[in-house]
Amino acid sequence: MDTYIIGIAGASGSGKTTFVKELVKKFTSKEVCLISFDDYYKERHLQPLDDNGIENYDTLESIDIEAFESDLQKLKSGESFTRKEYDFNNPDYKTEVKEYFPTPVVILEGLFLFSYESIYKKLDLKIFIEAEEHLRITRRLERDLVERGYTVEQTLYWLRKHVEPAYKTLVHPYKSEADVIIPNNKNFNAALDLVSGFIKHKIQ
């Protein structure tokens, strides 16, 4: 099977995960497969520490890129695989074991997706989702407090010490390398229609 690979990157809070979820809803599991970097974070004790001894998940070393590449290669070779969903270090977060199957189109989604040269070279289409800084911060706060059970203090610390510095060095510099840039300050409806239409054409 010839696999068409789409990579979707962008800042934390830009809405890339929401965009991808809405995009995948438009296709069957036999047409499109989604792999997210979120499910490839290394265990907490393997994460690098910042100057204050706090785990920093916003580094290239935070992701098990070897496992990610291995699983991607399985799909390209016509093999299926399973992967346990990441729990964001929240014991109350209900995780499941996901099963992935080969499809004509594979979508990769991740914060630093374009920063890994080995992954970047495999992408047939590169999409970058952006949003204004105040919106990114607001969305990140809402997500961490409501969905992941973190405190305001934790989230603000991560934003200041980890998230924004990583955005400036590992995310934003690759914006100009994207084939498509989607602004998500109000909504992404028009872009969603365009990208889904393109994928349908590729599948046909």
pLDDT score, position 92 = 63
How far CA 170 is from CA of 111, 115, 161, in Å, comes to 9, 6, 14
Domain count across the chain: 1
User: Where is pLDDT greater, at 204 or 188?
Assistant: 188
Tell me the residue type at 187.
Answer: N
End-to-end alpha carbon distance in the chain: 14
Structure tokens at 143: 């997500």
CA-based nearest residue to 12, from 148, 105, 103: 148
Instruction: Read off the pLDDT of each residue in 140-155 and give the average, rounded to a whole number.
Output: 84
The reply to whether 204 falls in a domain is: no
Who wins on pLDDT, 146 or 78?
78
pLDDT bin (cut points 50, 70, 90) of residue 132 is: very high
| Whole-number pLDDT of residue 146 | 78
Residue 107, in any domain of the structure: yes
- Greatest C-alpha distance within the chain: 53
Instruction: Report the chain's mean pLDDT, rounded to a whole number.
Output: 92
Tally of residues, the chain: 204
Domain-embedded: residue 183: yes
Whether residue 166 lies inside any domain: the answer is yes
Can you give the pLDDT at residue 142? 87
44-54: per-residue pLDDT in tens?
899 999 999 99
Assign residue 38 the CATH number of its domain: 3.40.50.300
Which region among 9-23, 95-109, 148-162 has the lowest average model confidence (pLDDT)?
Answer: 148-162
Residue 203 included in any domain: no
Residue 85: the pLDDT is 86
Q: Residue 179 domain-assigned?
A: yes
pLDDT, tens digit, 9 for 90 and up, residues 112-128: 999 999 999 999 999 99
Structure-block tokens of residue 46: 């393997």
Domain range for residue 189?
Answer: 4-198
pTM attached to this predicted model:
0.91
**CB neighbour list of residue 37: distance below 8 Å, 6 or more residues apart:** 63, 68, 108, 109, 110, 111, 112, 113
> In percent, how much of the chain has pLDDT > 70?
96
Q: How far apart are CA 159 and CA 91, in angstroms?
A: 22
